[in-house]
């Protein structure tokens, strides 16, 4: 990991008490359905991925960056501009336009994107085109049979792929995408949702794949039970710690994730940092 990353990016080992991120919620559409995902576009009370107060256009997003960076306190804190939803960033053209606008106006801010990875291989040239700095791919299974329990459908090029067929394509594209990004010098992280009783046995397989593909860090996050997985109890803190500890023998673990909203702003440790200011 480069010094700039270590010091500046709170989700990649940078000082999370000093440096923060600004999420731009420009990406409402998604191309898969995860069993634990419920997206809301009007919620200021909930703080979790998939939630935003408002979906912004690329121009509104740039305006938001300008407003935030006018505040001297925020200017001290914000190092990263991230797009992480509320849907999948790569499934929304607005993501690319927003990054182009922000890169041009604020070349010193690190650009960061979080995706399910389905479109990574085909959209990778566009990410290289505007100089993406860091990438997160959420991989919850390596085995498509397990993936089929987590992803009810996958939509690619107008085709609906259900069950194992969809999961197989998704996993293949995630693997190809992580490898591409790491080989091109993009700092890459793999996020995995720990879903008790569903994907525990997959996690070491994901960790080994992430390491061999060139990812720098893994982030194992607890399930937030909702949607089709609403009845699954989330892992206890002790369970989560055990899984992180075990997998830290394979690849470094990021342990400070706040499972941010799509419009979060400020320090990742600050749970009140979501919502439009
Ligand atoms: Fe945002 Fe994600 Fe970039 Fe960080 S969040 S797009 S890598 S700038 Fe960070 Fe938030 Fe956890 Fe994500 S704490 S949910 S890992
Ligand atoms: Fe929700 Fe993200 Fe899964 Fe899409 S990829 S269904 S936005 S969790």
Q: How confident is the model over 203-231, as pLDDT tens digits?
A: 999 999 999 999 999 999 999 998 999 99
Ligand nearest to the CA of 83: 1
pLDDT reported for residue 62: 98
CB 13 less than 6 A from any atom of ligand 1? no
Q: Ligand 2: which of 23, 30, 171, 262 to mutate, judged by most atoms within 8 Å of the beta carbon? A: 30
Residues whose CB is less than 8 angstroms from the CB of residue 158 and which lie 6 or more positions away in sequence, other chains included: none
The answer, yes or no, to whether any atom of ligand 2 lies below 6 A from the CB of 147, is no
Beta strands in 223-264, from DSSP E residues, in sequence order: none
Q: What's the CA-to-centroid distance between 147 and ligand 1, angstroms?
A: 23
The ligand 2 atom at the shortest distance from the C-alpha of residue 37 is 1
Q: pLDDT (tens digit, 9 = 90+) per residue, 161-192?
A: 999 999 999 999 999 999 999 999 999 999 99
Give residue 53's pLDDT: 77
Q: Ligand nearest 110 Cα, by number? A: 1
Q: How far is the CA of 81 from the centre of ligand 1 (A)?
A: 10
Band of pLDDT at residue 273, cut at 50, 70 and 90: very low
Tell me the pLDDT tens digit for each residue of 256-270. 998 888 888 888 877
CA of 81, closest atom in ligand 1: 8
Ligand 2 centroid to Cα of residue 33, in Å, is: 6
Mean pLDDT for the chain? 90
Q: What percent of the chain has pLDDT over 70?
A: 90
C-alpha closest to that of 192 among 222, 220, 170: 220
95 lines ligand 1 (CB under 6 A): no
Whether 154 shows a pLDDT value over 50: the answer reads yes
For residue 111, what is the enclosing H or E element?
A: strand 110-115
Q: Is the pLDDT of residue 271 over 80?
A: no
The bound ligand whose nearest atom lies closest to the alpha carbon of 84 is: 1
Span 112-118, average pLDDT: 96
Distance of CA 256 from the midpoint of ligand 1 (Å): 10
| Position 116 pLDDT exceeds 50 | yes
CB of residue 58 inside a 6 A radius of ligand 2: no
- Picking from 248, 246, 181, the residue whose alpha carbon sits closest to that of residue 218 is 248
pLDDT reported for residue 16: 87
Q: Which atom of ligand 2 is nearest to the CA of 30?
A: 4
Residue-level pLDDT at 47: 58
* Domains, the chain, ordered by start: 2-266 (3.20.20.70)
The pLDDT score that the predictor gives to residue 4 is 44
Look at residue 3 in the predicted model and tell me its pLDDT: 46
Whole-prediction pTM:
0.93
Q: What is the pLDDT of residue 277?
A: 34
pLDDT tens, position by position, 71-112: 999 999 999 999 998 999 999 999 999 999 999 999 999 999
The span from the CA of 125 to the CA of 10, in Å, is: 26
Q: When comparing pLDDT for 2 and 16, which is higher?
A: 16
Structure tokens at 240: 């989560």
84 lines ligand 1 (CB under 6 A): yes
Among the listed ranges 8-12, 65-69, 145-149, 218-222, which one has the minimum average pLDDT value?
8-12
Segment 128-152 shows an average pLDDT of 96
Residue 54 confidence (pLDDT): 87
Q: What is the pLDDT of residue 49?
A: 67
**Distance from Cα 187 to the centre of ligand 1, integer Å:** 13
Residue 170: name the closest of 158, 190, 154, 182 by CA.
Answer: 154
Q: Is the pLDDT of residue 21 over 80?
A: yes
Judged by its nearest atom, the ligand closest to the C-alpha of residue 219 is 1
Which one of 88, 117, 138 would you pick to mutate in the ligand 2 pocket, going by the greatest count of ligand atoms within 8 A of its CB? 88
pLDDT digits (tens, 9 = 90+) for 37-75: 887 654 444 556 666 778 999 999 999 999 999 999 999
| Complete edge-to-edge strand list for the sheet that includes strand 159-162 | 32-34, 151-156, 159-162
């Amino acid at each position: 990991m480069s010094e700039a990353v270590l010091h500046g990016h709170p989700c990649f080992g940078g000082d999370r008490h000093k440096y923060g991120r600004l999420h731009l919620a420009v990406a409402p559409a998604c191309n898969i359905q995860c069993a634990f995902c419920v997206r809301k576009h009007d919620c200021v009370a909930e703080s979790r991925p998939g939630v935003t107060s408002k979906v912004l256009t690329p121009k509104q997003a740039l305006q938001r960056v300008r407003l935030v960076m006018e505040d001297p306190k925020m200017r001290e804190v914000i190092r990263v501009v991230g797009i992480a939803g509320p849907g999948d960033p790569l499934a929304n053209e607005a993501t690319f336009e927003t990054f182009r606008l922000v890169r041009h106006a604020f070349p010193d801010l690190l650009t960061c994107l979080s995706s399910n990875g389905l479109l990574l291989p085909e959209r990778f040239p566009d990410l290289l085109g505007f100089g993406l700095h860091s990438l997160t791919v959420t991989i919850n299974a390596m085995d498509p049979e397990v993936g089929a329990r987590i992803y009810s459908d996958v939509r690619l090029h107008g085709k609906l792929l259900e069950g194992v067929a969809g999961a197989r394509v998704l996993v293949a594209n995630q693997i190809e995408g992580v490898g591409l990004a790491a080989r091109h010098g993009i700092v890459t992280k793999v996020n995995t949702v720990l879903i008790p009783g569903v994907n525990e046995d997959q996690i070491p397989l994901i960790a080994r794949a992430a390491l061999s593909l060139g990812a720098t860090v893994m982030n194992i996050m607890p399930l937030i039970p909702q949607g089709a997985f609403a009845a699954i109890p989330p892992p206890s803190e002790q369970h989560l710690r055990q899984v992180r500890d075990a997998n830290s023998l394979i690849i470094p673990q990021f342990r400070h994730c706040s499972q941010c909203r799509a419009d979060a702003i400020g320090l990742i440790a600050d749970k009140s940092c979501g919502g439009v200011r």
